[in-house]
């Protein structure tokens, strides 16, 4: 229960933060792989209380949201750094 919820919140917050901190597009791998693994573990009963009906849609949505927010963080920090460089 609580450990799985903590992992979900942590991944939701850390993915864009890691993207912003590293400014690397490879940071998008964390949510792209992490979210499906979280849902796989829930579905297999490895942690948490399992999944309910329509969990595949929730997994797809949260994975897309995680990749998007991380990509936005990477793009924003790269653009800000590029703007700060002397011309």
Residues 74 and 19 sit within 8 Å (Cβ to Cβ): yes
Whole-prediction pTM: 0.83
pLDDT digits (tens, 9 = 90+) for 17-58: 999 999 999 999 999 999 999 889 888 888 888 888 888 998
Residues 23 and 78 sit within 8 Å (Cβ to Cβ): yes
The DSSP secondary structure of 19-87, one letter per residue, reads: HHHH--GGGGHHHHHHHHHHHHHHHHTSSTT---TTHHHHHHHHHHHHHHHHHHHHHHHHHHHHHHS--
pLDDT digits (tens, 9 = 90+) for 65-81: 999 999 999 999 999 88
């Amino acid at each position: 229960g609580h450990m799985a919820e903590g992992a979900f919140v942590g991944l939701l917050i850390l993915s864009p933060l890691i993207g912003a901190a590293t400014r690397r597009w490879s940071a998008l791998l964390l949510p792209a792989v992490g979210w499906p693994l979280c849902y796989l573990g829930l579905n297999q009963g490895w942690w948490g209380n399992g999944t309910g009906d329509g969990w595949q849609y929730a997994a797809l949505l949260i994975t897309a949201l995680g990749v998007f927010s991380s990509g936005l963080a990477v793009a924003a920090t790269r653009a800000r750094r590029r703007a700060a460089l002397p011309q």
